Amino acid sequence: GQPNGIHYVPTDAGGDDPPVDRPTDRTTVHIAADDRVFRETLTLWLSDDEQWEPREAADGAEALSKLDGTVDAFVSTDGAESEVVGRLGETAFDGPVVVLSAFEPDDHLADVDVDVDVDTYLTKPVDRETFVGTCVDVVERSGTPDTST
């Protein structure tokens, strides 16, 4: 049995229903990072502003499976970026890409055309102001929903 007498019964409820109370002007940012703490930190930084709707993926494969036309911007970090950035054409995603890495682009993304595939490349460490400001900048340049208030 379940602890405390709680019984969970799987249902199909809400499977294909649209999200409730989701403002249409929110900007969806998909964050792929294998470092859970770093991924959650980036998510929290964006979550502080109701204009953002951050989503998370723990690795490149999960990110690729979740990238679609509803995502406005994509953030990838060490361990995921070269795998994902090189395969973005396989998804319905067509937005700006931000890469955060401990490596310089020349060292780490030699097999990816950074000028074409990546809109902004940030070298870690990165602070909240730089990260959020970069997300605002790439979204504004791409013409996705306005995040300024």
Which of 48-52, 61-65, 69-73, 140-144 has the lowest average pLDDT? 140-144
Note the pLDDT tens digit of each residue in 85-139: 888 888 999 999 999 988 877 655 555 544 447 889 899 999 999 999 999 999 9
For residue 82, pLDDT over 50 is answered with yes
Closest CA to 45 of 15, 75, 86, 78: 75
> Using an 8 Å Cβ cutoff, are 11 and 97 in contact?
no
Asked if 74 and 98 touch (Cβ cutoff 8 Å), the reply is yes
Residue 97: CB atoms within 10 Å: 21
Residue type, 91: T
Residue labelled with tokens 């964050």: 31
Question: Which pLDDT does position 60 carry in this prediction?
Answer: 84
Q: Looking at the chain, how many residues does it have?
A: 149
Highest mean pLDDT: which range of 72-81, 102-111, 135-144: 135-144
Q: Which long-range contacts (CB under 8 A, 24 or more apart) does 117-124 make?
A: 117/85, 117/86, 117/88, 118/85, 120/96, 122/98, 124/77, 124/78, 124/100
What pLDDT, on the 0 to 100 scale, is given for residue 11? 54
What digits encode the pLDDT tens for the residues 3-25?
Answer: 445 545 555 555 554 444 444 58
Banded model confidence at residue 149, pLDDT cuts 50, 70, 90: very low
The pTM of this model reads 0.75
Q: Which amino acid is at 89?
A: G
What is the distance in angstroms between the CA of the first residue and the CA of the last residue of the chain? 49
